[in-house]
Amino acid sequence: MSFEQFVAKRFMPRRGNDSGFSGPLSRIAVAAIALAILVMVMAVNILHGFQHHIAEKVSAFGSHITVESYAGGQGYEGEFPIVADSLTWNTLAATEGVKHVQCYATKGGMVKTEDQIYGILLRGLSPGYDTSFYATCLKDGHLPVEDNQVLVSATIASRLKLHTGDKMRTYFWQGDNYRARAFTVSGIYSTDLSEVDDHCVLGTLHTVQRLNDWDDNQVGGYELLIHDMDRLDAVTASVRAAMPYHLGIHNVVEANPALFAWLDLLNSNITLILAIMCVVCAVAIVSAMLIMIFEKRSTIGLLKALGASSKSVRKIFIIKGIEVILKGILIGDILALALSLVQLKWQPVRLDPESYSMSHVPVEIDPLVYAAVSIGVAVLCLAALLLPASYIAKTSPSLTTREQ
């Protein structure tokens, strides 16, 4: 143990032996740093949770990248099909970054009950469609496996008073005539995305093909799932380069610009929060150290009179400052992790699904966030310590000993 560590351990304020303000202020500094760490980590965890949760939902429903007719997609009436051939399929599947290729088609229609008529969009899914997202949203029943079965949203089921196993009579326009179909409700789902839950009904691709008078190789389009959302633009560019001119390609960000612009806007709010909390940390540690130095002026003078250099005395106070900083960071990280785990497991903080497209506050625990925030605060507070520590060099042994 060095001389500075020995002195710092013994003459700095300790619990039960605080005759001045420095002891309580040190604990206040620890609490301030812990609170700042808690706020910063939770803010980033919740922001990432919001961004990933909403992006995942939107991507899972509409896929990451869509390939469809350049004429404007198939629309509600299915007027613009494309031919699903093995060459196009293999080209898409072989594109770097693409994880899964699937086909879909849609058809607009109306559901008629005894007292209501409700517009829907029947979305037909191919046999190899990745339905894992819909499985997580399933509230009752099961995903449709036959042509006469459909999965309806909780919103539609509530408005039309439908339950699993009920018959749902639906009408579709084809040319100048309409076609009636009676589907069995195989299950009820809820994504908390109003644009999906208000109108979307899930069925099979073959059902939509028959309603549109399409051949078995005609589909509304391809949907691509990718491995890494961060490479969305790069994979989209590769798909565009590989596809013929008559096919239009767009990704989930291009299809939902307002939504993703809102998610990006959240980053500026988090930046402001981080900046404010960093200032709180710096002010707390500087205040605690300045009060401590003022109270220990006589001790500083005595140490200098006994031969200690200003550098050595400054190191003593920096050691105490580091102790306060590390204790605050540790407590803040523990509290942030505990609150995040509680929210992940029990979800006590709820949200209005109609306003936020989710029923609870999403939290994403990332060790890199904890490390980055902790290291950043530690570096900032250590830099702030240089201000009060510089005062020590101006403390005269003769003045401080005279004060005693």
Task: Please give the average pLDDT of every successive group of 10 residues along the chain, which has 404 residues.
Answer: 73 53 78 94 92 83 87 57 92 95 93 88 92 90 86 94 94 84 94 88 94 92 92 95 90 88 84 90 88 78 76 84 92 96 94 82 94 94 84 62 50
In a domain, 88, yes or no: no
Q: Are residues 48 and 116 in the same domain?
A: no
Other beta carbons less than 10 A from residue 250's beta carbon: 15
What is d(CA 202, CA 185) in angstroms, rounded to the nearest whole number?
10
Question: Domain boundary residue among 199, 224, 249?
Answer: 224
pLDDT at position 74 is 45
Q: Are residues 303 and 379 in the same domain?
A: yes
In a domain, 192, yes or no: yes
pTM: 0.80
Question: Domain boundary residue among 224, 244, 279?
Answer: 224
Indicate the burial class of 242 (C-beta count within 10 angstroms; 0-12, 13-18, 19 or more). middle
Question: Domain boundary residue among 196, 224, 252?
Answer: 224
What is d(CA 22, CA 28) in angstroms, rounded to the nearest whole number?
10
pLDDT at position 72 is 55
What is d(CA 327, CA 32) in angstroms, rounded to the nearest whole number?
11
What is d(CA 99, CA 331) in angstroms, rounded to the nearest whole number?
41
Count of structural domains, the chain: 2
- pLDDT (tens digit per residue) in 290-336: 888 877 777 777 777 777 777 888 888 888 889 899 999 999 999 99
Residues 6+ apart with CB under 8 A from 241: none
In a domain, 254, yes or no: no
**Beta 177-189 vs 149-153: how paired, if at all?**
parallel
Q: Are residues 220 and 144 in the same domain?
A: yes
Q: What is the CATH number of the domain that holds 160?
A: 2.40.40
pLDDT at position 352 is 85
Q: Are residues 312 and 377 in the same domain?
A: yes
Q: Which amino acid is at 72?
A: G
Residues of the domain holding 133:
102-224
In a domain, 249, yes or no: no
In a domain, 131, yes or no: yes
Output phi, psi for 343, to 5 deg: -65, -40
Q: Are residues 47 and 110 in the same domain?
A: no
Residues 6+ apart with CB under 8 A from 215: 209
DSSP code of residue 82: E
Q: Which amino acid is at 151?
A: L
Output phi, psi for 111, to 5 deg: -105, 130
Indicate the burial class of 258 (C-beta count within 10 angstroms; 0-12, 13-18, 19 or more). exposed
DSSP code of residue 230: G
Q: Are residues 292 and 397 in the same domain?
A: yes
In a domain, 309, yes or no: yes
pLDDT at position 270 is 87
Q: Where are the alpha helices (DSSP H) in 199-309?
A: 205-211, 232-242, 252-255, 257-295, 297-305
What is d(CA 117, CA 369) in angstroms, rounded to the nearest whole number?
50
In a domain, 354, yes or no: yes
Q: Are residues 220 and 268 in the same domain?
A: no
What is d(CA 140, CA 243) in angstroms, rounded to the nearest whole number?
40
Dihedral sign (CA 4, 5, 7, 11): positive
DSSP code of residue 360: B
In a domain, 91, yes or no: no
pLDDT at position 189 is 94
pLDDT at position 394 is 63
pLDDT at position 330 is 96
